[in-house]
Chain A
Amino acid sequence: MRGLDGRGRGRGEGGPPERVGSQLQLTAVGREVRLPSGDLLEVLSGIDLTIGAGEHVSIVGRSGSGKSTLLNVLGLLDAPTSGEYLLDGQPTDRLRGRRRARLRGECFGFVFQQFNLLPRRTAVENVAAPLLYARGREFLGRTRRALEVLDQVGLAARADQVPERLSGGEQQRVAIARALVRRPRVVLADEPTGALDVETGQAVMALLAEATAAQGAALVTITHDLAVAALADRRLRLDHGRLTPMDAEAPGARTAEVVA
């Protein structure tokens, strides 16, 4: 498989600074899991992928194609069983325990399909939650920073509301604010519009793209929705654990298809 080299998101003069050097590089990455029967299932195979700083990449694929596993590998929630994963040029295979967790907290922000907000905590508490694991000023100024990011996603007025009193769209905007609060290099979004209606999903997706771009963070979106995928600078397809560029396919082929 050819390398899927990334390119920076185009930003005009006066836009946020490019974050040079913060890139993810996967080379021949594979991930196998052992089934209860004892057999090995190859979830990812020979993944070559490079994501540049500030780039917006979308990955589409059917259910069970390995999209979430790939996202988990990228976000250091899971580790490949073969191949090499470099983060800022540094191999990640030797990262263990505390260092791995810290790097995950510092470098990545996650947006989940089901929002995964902490129940019974207010919006501002939810957004500030990742900063509990930060240090120094970042930790001490967590509430102020959380309010600032909530303002960026247009929810400053709802800061004291608990998730149970927010709409789906609002909850996902809180989740986006939470993903951005530690100024991550990469935001990993797993079906960010999957639990929202079409209109709300589009608005949320636009906000996600805009907010990550404003921070100069890369955005990797996993989605079934080709309309959502189309917002990305680069679109990839994951099929049976193998990654291919969508652009390489025949023009018009499956463009109207919602990959399900």
Chain B
Amino acid sequence: MTGLIGVFVEAWGEVRVHKARVVLSLVGVFLAVFAMTSVTGLGLIVAQVQQEQSERSTGRSATIQLSGFDQTTGAPAPAAEWDAAVGQLLDRYGVEAYATVAYRDALFRLPGGTQQLQVQQVSPSYGPLHRLQPVQGRWFREGDRTSLSPTLVVNEFFLDMLGGGDLTAPRTVVLGGARPVTATVVGVLRDGYRSPTVYRIDHTGLDDARATAAADQAAMMYGPPSVELWVPSAQVDEVMAALQADLPLLLPGISANVYRADDPSLEGTIDTLRLAVRAVGAVALLLGGLGVFNVGLMAVRQRIREIGIRRSFGATSARVFGAIMLESVVATVLAGLAAVALAVAVVDNLPIADLFNDGVPIADLPGFPVEAAVEGLLAAAGVGALAGLLPALLAVRVKVIDAIRF
């Protein structure tokens, strides 16, 4: 036990006596670990931003889009039959995360005049699947489907068209046409677009069969309503093939249109980005580590006589090795801790959304990636061990007699 304490006492004595050298090597490690951890942490956040940006428009990985149309007329399948058939398929394949989307035109009576705008009619589940989080108000919920007033979620540009301001009070807009209806804006998105974006709840208490004709016309222009299914990437091909085969069996005469909506190459791109970020971090660490290594090596050369003297006191090879390694590892881990703490503080306080996402809030902006912090600490310990290894081996190989005369 006292032997172990002795190693620590000896290592601490070295650190205390050689303050300048230790601080010099710690500065190197500190900067290296700080650079590596910051770059890695920031890179992983940027990768997350990239992923979100892509998923906001095309859906999460992997999203299958399913639609069906009459092979003869091109019209969508009757709504009730379509819903029943899709429900059956979702149950069969155990798909729990899905959303519906249909593109429609609508007339909006705005303060500046009536305008025809494209509207996406979506189910409440569309928001989470596309990482849509309003900056004001809320996203759709199930209760909106029975409301007599269609609910809308719009972007900030559309809100400006409505007269601007905040969504502190209910905002309404009249949807024109033969049967005007007053819609209620329940949420505002920040998407950075300089054109209006309008989401409408897919169903309201006013919907009836009279809407069918208009829906059919829209379907001819924009395509039939579709269902988005969120499935594991590994099963995407299998599910697509099954849908393609099974839908016509449930809906005779209806042809299934199945394709993958998200970008399959995104995962690879993000992985490459993460890899590149880690590579940059590793290079930063390597450069810092070289500095520590040099200082350590020089220090041992300067301490050869001292090592010889200690050997004459009875210091074993293992003791000399242990003391030099411990000195190196403990010092670098302490420097690493400080560097990781600073990196976390800096990266966490960066305006990530402003810098990398045009000011659009990031839905799942992660805190400082734990993996980056852990990597930073492990790297610090690794650098300490590597930087200490050669000097320690050199110290052990020193011939005592030569060392004393050094």
Q: Quick check: which of B161-169, B303-311, B354-362, B380-388 contacts chain A, the rest being far away?
A: B303-311
CA A106 to CA B316, docked complex, whole Å: 12
Please name all residues of chain B whose beta carbon is closer than 8 Å to the beta carbon of A132 when the two chains form the complex. 6, 9-10, 313, 315
A34-71 vs B, CB cutoff 8 Å, 1 = contact: the mask equals 00000000000000000000000000000000001000
- Number of residue pairs across A and B with beta carbons under 8 Å? 65
CA A129 to CA B404, docked complex, whole Å: 16
B1-44 vs A, CB cutoff 8 Å, 1 = contact: the mask equals 01101100110010001000000000000000000000000000
In the complex, the answer to whether B2 meets A98 with C-beta atoms within 8 Å is no
CA A18 to CA B2, docked complex, whole Å: 31
Closest residue of B by beta carbon distance from A75: B312
What is the distance, in angstroms, from B287's C-beta to the closest C-beta of chain A?
Answer: 30
Partner among B2, B310, B312, B314 whose Cβ is within 8 Å of the Cβ of A140: B2
Partner among A101, A121, A130, A135 whose Cβ is within 8 Å of the Cβ of B316: A101
B313-328 vs A, CB cutoff 8 Å, 1 = contact: the mask equals 1111111000000000
Closest residue of B by beta carbon distance from A138: B2
In the complex, the answer to whether A105 meets B314 with C-beta atoms within 8 Å is yes
What is the distance, in angstroms, from B308's C-beta to the closest C-beta of chain A?
Answer: 8
Interface residues on B, range: 20 to 34
Q: Is B401 part of the contact surface with A, judged by Cβ < 8 Å?
A: yes
Q: Is A78 part of the contact surface with B, judged by Cβ < 8 Å?
A: yes
CA A129 to CA B310, docked complex, whole Å: 8
CA A133 to CA B3, docked complex, whole Å: 7
Partner among A106, A120, A136 whose Cβ is within 8 Å of the Cβ of B314: A106
Please name all residues of chain A whose beta carbon is closer than 8 Å to the beta carbon of B314 when the two chains form the complex. 101-106, 130, 133
Partner among A112, A120, A133, A135 whose Cβ is within 8 Å of the Cβ of B313: A133
Q: Is B261 part of the contact surface with A, judged by Cβ < 8 Å?
A: no
Q: Is A206 part of the contact surface with B, judged by Cβ < 8 Å?
A: no
CA A232 to CA B388, docked complex, whole Å: 46
In the complex, the answer to whether B17 meets A112 with C-beta atoms within 8 Å is no
Main SS at interface, chain A: helix
Partner among B17, B305, B306, B311 whose Cβ is within 8 Å of the Cβ of A101: B311
Closest residue of A by beta carbon distance from B17: A120
CA A191 to CA B34, docked complex, whole Å: 52
Count of A residues near B, CB < 8 Å?
31
A77-B401, A101-B316, A125-B13 are contacts. A118–B309 as well, Cβ < 8 Å? Answer: yes
What is the distance, in angstroms, from A79's C-beta to the closest C-beta of chain B?
Answer: 11
In the complex, the answer to whether A97 meets B317 with C-beta atoms within 8 Å is yes
Q: Is B400 part of the contact surface with A, judged by Cβ < 8 Å?
A: yes
In the complex, the answer to whether A121 meets B17 with C-beta atoms within 8 Å is yes
What is the distance, in angstroms, from B300's C-beta to the closest C-beta of chain A?
Answer: 15
In the complex, the answer to whether B5 meets A139 with C-beta atoms within 8 Å is yes
CA A112 to CA B401, docked complex, whole Å: 11
Please name all residues of chain A whose beta carbon is closer than 8 Å to the beta carbon of B401 when the two chains form the complex. 68, 72, 77-78
In the complex, the answer to whether A110 meets B316 with C-beta atoms within 8 Å is no
In the complex, the answer to whether A116 meets B316 with C-beta atoms within 8 Å is no
Query: 8 Å CB contacts to B: which residues of A105-137?
Result: 105-106, 108, 110, 112, 116, 118-121, 125, 129-130, 132-136
Please name all residues of chain A whose beta carbon is closer than 8 Å to the beta carbon of B9 when the two chains form the complex. 132
Which of B305, B309, B312 has the most A CB atoms < 10 Å from its CB? Answer: B312
CA A140 to CA B57, docked complex, whole Å: 70
In the complex, the answer to whether B315 meets A133 with C-beta atoms within 8 Å is yes
What is the distance, in angstroms, from A115's C-beta to the closest C-beta of chain B?
Answer: 10
In the complex, the answer to whether A98 meets B316 with C-beta atoms within 8 Å is yes
Query: 8 Å CB contacts to A: which residues of B347-406?
Result: 400-401, 404
In the complex, the answer to whether A105 meets B2 with C-beta atoms within 8 Å is no
CA A72 to CA B405, docked complex, whole Å: 12
In the complex, the answer to whether B17 meets A77 with C-beta atoms within 8 Å is no
A112-B404, A116-B309 are contacts. A102–B2 as well, Cβ < 8 Å? Answer: no
What is the distance, in angstroms, from B157's C-beta to the closest C-beta of chain A?
Answer: 70
What is the distance, in angstroms, from A244's C-beta to the closest C-beta of chain B?
Answer: 24
What is the distance, in angstroms, from B74's C-beta to the closest C-beta of chain A?
Answer: 89
Please name all residues of chain B whose beta carbon is closer than 8 Å to the beta carbon of A139 when the two chains form the complex. 2, 5-6
CA A75 to CA B312, docked complex, whole Å: 8
Which of B6, B13, B313 has the most A CB atoms < 10 Å from its CB? Answer: B313
Please name all residues of chain B whose beta carbon is closer than 8 Å to the beta carbon of A134 when the two chains form the complex. 2
CA A130 to CA B401, docked complex, whole Å: 17
Closest residue of B by beta carbon distance from A133: B314
Considering the complex of A and B, which 3 residue pairs feature the smallest CB-CB distances, nearest first?
A105-B314, A130-B313, A101-B316
30 A-B Cβ contacts within 8 A?
A68-B401, A72-B401, A77-B311, A77-B312, A77-B400, A78-B401, A97-B316, A98-B318, A101-B316, A101-B317, A101-B319, A102-B316, A112-B404, A116-B305, A116-B404, A118-B309, A119-B306, A121-B17, A129-B310, A130-B313, A130-B314, A132-B6, A132-B10, A132-B313, A133-B6, A133-B310, A133-B313, A133-B316, A133-B319, A135-B3
- Residues of A participating in the B interface, judged by any CB pair closer than 8 Å: 68, 72, 75, 77-78, 97-98, 101-106, 108, 110, 112, 116, 118-121, 125, 129-130, 132-136, 139-140
Given A77-B400, A101-B311, A116-B305, 15 new contacts (CB under 8 A): A72-B401, A77-B401, A78-B401, A101-B315, A102-B316, A103-B314, A104-B314, A105-B314, A118-B309, A119-B306, A132-B315, A133-B314, A135-B3, A136-B2, A140-B2
